[in-house]
Structure 1
């Protein structure tokens, strides 16, 4: 602008001749598209910058437009902007409105805590779509409250909007959720809420409810109804007293019963809080672990606040009152499964679970052994009457009770119990009903499962799988070892059996024993010695194992065997030790015998074998060995009994022998191979040759 107007004058800063027309020409000419001023606005500018002699001071106009812009970068900021960037920024209300808002938010916090609601995700779903930063619209805020069931009046909603309004059209839900969380935490710390999440009646804050009665009601929360011989008693002096607190021992037994029935490992619920593995937790961490385990007010086993406080006081760390020794609590609870350090007392017998844990009654029930005798007798007589009627009428009591038990937890109310008895046709007096209620009532109501188990007996029917179970028991029973035989305790026969195995299969026993002797002490343990013999496959019985271990036991080492001496004794079957001292001695090799219990013959059987061999030897040359070799494809020296009979039949020898002689002959030359007995035809042929050579012949 300055260069455009300066071209029209001599650089004095004024437009001299026809100053007004030139000034207007410049604004309407090259600067018209830039400034976009109307003729009226140009006329006003001309009048504003005209001096007394009629000239236009254009330099002042240029300074106003170009040079008079202040430099704010050199000045320190007066407002940082953090006031609006704070996500928890809320508006200020009057004292009366603040008090009303606090009561309203406390009521909402109690409702949210009771329903276990989490508010933030419902608002964040909208934020993901709208890309807002911690804010939602008023309409969406109202829809979220309505969806969660938080019904507020128009005045209350207007008060909330007034407090958390941001940018004149959105709601700061982050600050709203933070207020609710802060109030809930404050209620929890000051114990304004019970374990069920409801506000305690003793807290004055319960008065925030908008539905207040017109007159005070002191009996609210203090009325307890009881049934004394069937009559309802209200404001009973004995019942108005607080419930008697259970002892610590009974509380621990209830916890042990709960842990045992649900197979819970207590350690898993506390070790995640103990990062330093010191065995101690804070009180809140300990209670949080109990909540996760299912105790306290959110699990299956309900513990009152005094009982939890009693547990905390019992297991509190003596050196730090703010911490709890959870490992001690864990050891006490786990005693229902086993006993710690049981290896120090191996003779101690563990009873799991203890009888006092199994027999503990359900909470709220009467200790039946502490009830008066006349009441117990009345209950037993009533049960006998019900049992007889149910058996005589062929009745089933369970279907009527199941109609009232919608959740199938085994309990119905007192009134429902009476209705079920009337529906089944049992007309009992008030005293009898009261006796039954004292027997089967607990904190959940009337335990009809227990009642039906005793009032509706069934004949014992043996399960179909009992026969299968008995057979399995017979299969799994440990066999009774037979009495030892004389052969199993005779060391000579045992060594002969081992030597025969060594000679036939060329086994070096020391190779199977030496690797157990790591320190080269020439002795090994009894278990290792038996293990080495088992690897050698000598097929010894347990009695024979014990006999060898006792004969070759080390005199200086108990429960050890001198395996070197045993190996030298066995090696005598192959050679003789210390031959270098007597070079002229010729060692004799052990001749193994294949005799066993299978081919043992008595006197009569030996006579039959002798007669059979003499009959066969009396025949002329039959060349049986070549015939037997034709059947022996593997050339192992034995053939099956069937092939042995075929060979004798081919030579016409089976016809001259009786069936008794054939059976005894097969038994005499039997040889165990695999899982069957075969005939040792080589020994049979050698025996025939020996008889033929030594036979006594009469002179002609």
Structure 2
């Protein structure tokens, strides 16, 4: 066919919109069918892609698509119309093709003159796994297997390099364990998977995991993280794990016998062993560490480009935002940024920035951790988040050592504590442990540690952060102050060393006792933790000591230490020997004190105190204070040193409290008399200050029942600062009193009534309803005066307006000079002062001025001021001026 003939045919084909349900599009089908073979050859690739998409969906869902087409083919002719064909694919497989793909499918499967498609041929192609006519080729080699089993999608997000390496080791151990014992991982979970979807819950996965024994909790978390179903949070894809174990088995056989060629199309070996190309993982880890170390809120750099909060932005916007957020801190190059862009790119070219931000900000944290109290957060490796020091040349290192020794000698001689001076300059939201180079030089000069410019540059080169350029002052202080005990990366962590030794030894011997410790070292470590974290130790134990006796039980003591941070999740993990040493040292000798001692102890006490007592005298004392238990030394001490009994003050204190509470309350001023006025007062306050009353009340309703105690209701109203009086609160309590319990208030109805000034509930059910915004009236507009007072006020305002009109006065500038906060109000004395400066005070008597104050009064912070804006606009209006123009 010539090119000149192909062009009009293709133009005609593009005008025909197949699969849209319009019957007129099948006009001239015969000519289109006869001349469209060239177009079919050109679109052969699209046909193959469409077939693969259909096959993947059908094999994945394990359905017989032929049965769905037969509903449209009553005569079993094997043909259906084009709209029915594509409608069946849409309803059954959720497949929506574009125009080119629909046209390609119509050409391949025989579009007839009447617009019919041979769905029978389509189903045969889909259901045919091997060619039965080809008897020479093995059916196993012709078999087509989908990439994923039962529609489960493996998480394509790579783990960290260490986690991927750990995963490979876990799979190898599992394969060896299952191969020796003949365990099938798939059959272990089939009882939990009733619908045979290939997934189970995380608890079911943990409960029925069939070994091996050396798989610890961290290994299980790695498996769960790798095989979590991304479309169903909380479910684990055990079938993918099963197929990966089989793939590892074949991989191990291939390693033993390289001559065999094991190919498994179920599992992508590159994704199973991604450590071959960890470039992307290294880039993402570098960004995570930079975000965590510098406290970067990455989403703040992208959300301004996403006005609809759809979670996607353009490529250029993503590149600019990533470079601005952490390009300098993470030292990202342009190719590295492009790798991240390609990873989060959508088919339409846009970038999923929300998914990227969630992955970065939750690198060392778990979302919704308050709902998962038993989860342990992944901690970065030791030294990962530290600021390393830059290496210098050998000559520079020697000179630097001389400078540091000189400064250290001066610091030791003059006993200078330099860390506090650096810390005073570190005043961000959290201590960043860095200062600027200018601040560093200023502090050295202030402390008298003067160095020349070359040595100062040498110090800056050594202790500067290569990313930000700031100086790491804790490292400098540690280098020059030999008595500095601040926590740095070089500190030895007793707990980490003990834990490592115990774990290594326990793997071999299954049990080992905790190593002995030094009490002074332990107490020094605890003091350092208390000092570094600014802890009040007493607060962690006094809740267990209701009587404030100074003594608690041993379990309570350990619980308090754990809350203080001396646990596995805290700063230091106390082993059994360390805790026993603390208990032995601080054990209360009077836990079981009954006030008696033995006769021998009674005699020894006199010897220790060097009190000369003869033997007959001792016999007399023993006869007087001895009983069946022993010698009652408390009675002896009471007679020896008598003390006045402590008076019983309870009754007296209760009487004082009763008299204090019986005092009469002060009379209320300007209290609202009806409920509507109270509502108007609350709504005006809420509208002006943009409050959400529900936020102040929901914390008192833990079960979200919509009710709360009246005392809690009053407390919440006070926290909201609604300035309600006692009588006004009482009216609200009577209005919203619960019908079930008179001590409760239906606060949810109250909140809905107040928040109705902004919008209405259930607007999604009434899309045509118009919402009117609540607009509070100006305070001076609701002030009411009598008829005579209104007449006198109008006469005064007319006199003032006449003079203003004649002299063309500007009233606003003088009032604004006294209005420093620009709230539109001045005090009464300031108002009178302005009238005097404008020479208008002679036109208004004292009575007239008081009427003006009453008319234009407004409450500002509990004080009655005058709304000068309303007064000036009224005068200008009476003078006939244009609005805001004299």
Superposition TM-score, scaled by structure 1 size: 0.33
Q: Which has the larger radius of gyration?
A: 1
